[in-house]
Amino acid sequence: MQHTRRMLNPLLSGLRNLPARGATTTTAAAPAKVEKTVNTVTILGRVGADPQLRGSQEHPVVTFSVATHTNYKYENGDWAQRTDWHRVVVFKPNLRDTVLEYLKKGQRTMVQGKITYGEITDQQGNQKTSTSIIADDVLFFRDANN
């Protein structure tokens, strides 16, 4: 676990400090006109694996994945289903602890938060883009048969 933390700490701190893809960070005086923007996402799906605690003791983060799917019909009448996987990160202390303790693989969940983009350098030095949902709220659902 300690080895994993040492490897992930620079990645996570770098991810938090990176501007979104195509975004710029400025430190100039406040703009004359402040424009309202919105970055919200809501997903409803199933948890792909039990949440994991990552990061360092100073900057802990819980990560988990959520699967959502879309059903569609081909012109010949056949049905197909496409599954999308979403990476969710939780920084809020109370929410982080609750997710880690109670959210389990296969459980239905709804996540509300904001989407963020960044780059991660792997062990071979290759840069990969990363897309994550930073959770503001996570709702837990129990199946009817549980």
pLDDT at 33: 82
Full-prediction pTM beyond 0.75?
A: no
Per-residue pLDDT reduced to its tens digit, 84-123: 999 999 999 999 999 999 999 999 999 999 999 998 888 8
> What's the start-to-end Cα distance of the chain, in Å?
32
Q: Which of 131, 105, 133, 101 is nearest to 48 (CA)?
A: 105
Size (the chain), residues: 146
- Domains of the chain, CATH where assigned: 41-72+79-140 (2.40.50.140)
The backbone torsions φ and ψ at residue 71, rounded to the nearest 5 degrees and listed phi first, read: -100, 140
Residue 2 has pLDDT above 80, yes or no: no
Per-residue pLDDT reduced to its tens digit, 61-88: 999 999 999 999 999 999 999 999 999 9
Residue 9 has pLDDT above 90, yes or no: no
How far apart CA 61 and CA 16 sit, in angstroms, is: 11
